Amino acid sequence: MREILPALSAWYAAGVPFGLATVVAVSRSAPRDPGAAMAVGPGDEVVGSVSGGCVEGAVFELAQEVVASGEARLQTFGYSDEDAFAVGLTCGGEITLLVRPVSPATDPAFGEVAESVAAGRPVTVATVTDGPAPRGATLAVWPDRVTGSLGTDGLDVAVTADARGELALGATGLRHYGPRGERREDAVTVFLHSFAPPPRMLVFGAIDYAASVARIGAFLGYRVTVCDARPVFATPKRFPQGVEVVVDWPHRYLRDTDTDGRTVICVLTHDPKFDVPLLEEALRRPAAYIGAMGSRRTHDDRMKRLVEAGLTDRELARLRSPVGLDLGARTPEEVAVSVAAEIVALRWGGTGTPLTATAGAIHPH
């Protein structure tokens, strides 16, 4: 979508309707991920791709039809065993596309969304794909505001909450609701398309606990990097697939790495020669969470050294140490759950209190 936005923005600014096809679901060896897009504009001009060439001809015709009718369509394409030359994916996969007409009249927020994406400002676009709600209806969700509607106030409220959660992770995918936003129903299917890179999780110290923390970090949607100065421990085979492993002194690596308000930093080295200079750097830069592993004794010694290094009370107050929530965790996997629980609680303002001991809304605004 990002690649074809200049053309889409030009068509939209000119008030010319165009057909926009977006991959909303895939299975098996589909060639493109959810969010991939293709559009057909004035003069039958085509930009983008949804399958790398397998079904673009059929999508071209479908896009023309939705522009003419003004009605969005949901279409699934897959490989045909009976006829390998039929329209389908010869790779054996399957993709589901939402094809909808776009113009200032049908999607008043599209121009503002395009501007946000071009400027690097995070936004999630929620679009109804199926069910008893207007197919193709959109709701644009920014961190601080919302534009559009999916048909009912309840659905808008539920989707807005989920969209902001997906936006925090830079995640894209389908969600299911009841007609009025009921979370235990699946009558309405909504595609949440987030325009934000996934946040980073930086794990320092290539120990067994690091492998578990990296695994749960990837599960939560973070782009995970593990860093350790010891090459004998910092090897890719010790960590989940997709996790970046770096051999470098932790404080030096962090000093040369960009972080932002969504970055999570987990210091698992519990060795003063590593973690003191690392935390000195971490506590003075943007990050959503900075946690350090260690016993109470280790924590007290670490705090003393950080004070001697010149860190202020305000900077030290950002440190979550000992790391994690009190779950009674023992194994590396259990400790990783406690760390992840603290990260989630800090992000959304949770208390860690059992829900049986609380009252009121479970997901407050």
Task: Note the pLDDT of residue 94.
Answer: 82
Query: pTM for this one?
Result: 0.70
Span 104-146, pLDDT tens digits? 999 999 999 999 998 888 999 999 999 999 999 999 999 999 9
Span 340-359, pLDDT tens digits? 999 999 988 899 999 899 88
Dihedral (Cα; 98, 104, 108, 109), 10-degree rounding: 70
Lowest average pLDDT, out of 54-68, 203-217, 250-264, 306-320, goes to: 54-68
Whose CA is closest to 124, among 191, 73, 181, 186?
191
Is residue 38 classed as helix, strand or coil in its secondary structure?
strand
Task: Note the pLDDT of residue 84.
Answer: 35
Q: Which helix (H) or strand (E) holds 94?
A: strand 94-102
CA 178 to chain centre: 23
Task: Burial-class residue 14 by CB neighbours within 10 Å (0-12, 13-18, 19+).
Answer: exposed
CA angle 301, 302, 304 (to 5 degrees): 65
Span 309-336, pLDDT tens digits? 999 999 999 999 999 999 999 999 999 9
pLDDT band at 365 (very low <50, low <70, confident <90, very high): low
Read off the amino acid at residue 278. L
More confident residue, 86 or 303: 303
Direct distance between the N- and C-terminal alpha carbons of the chain, in angstroms, rounded to an integer? 30
Whose CA is closest to 324, among 345, 303, 304?
345
More confident residue, 2 or 201: 201
Whose CA is closest to 318, among 340, 344, 291, 295?
291
Rounded to whole angstroms, the Cα distance separating 162 from 158 reads 6
Two tokens, residue 287 = 């990050």
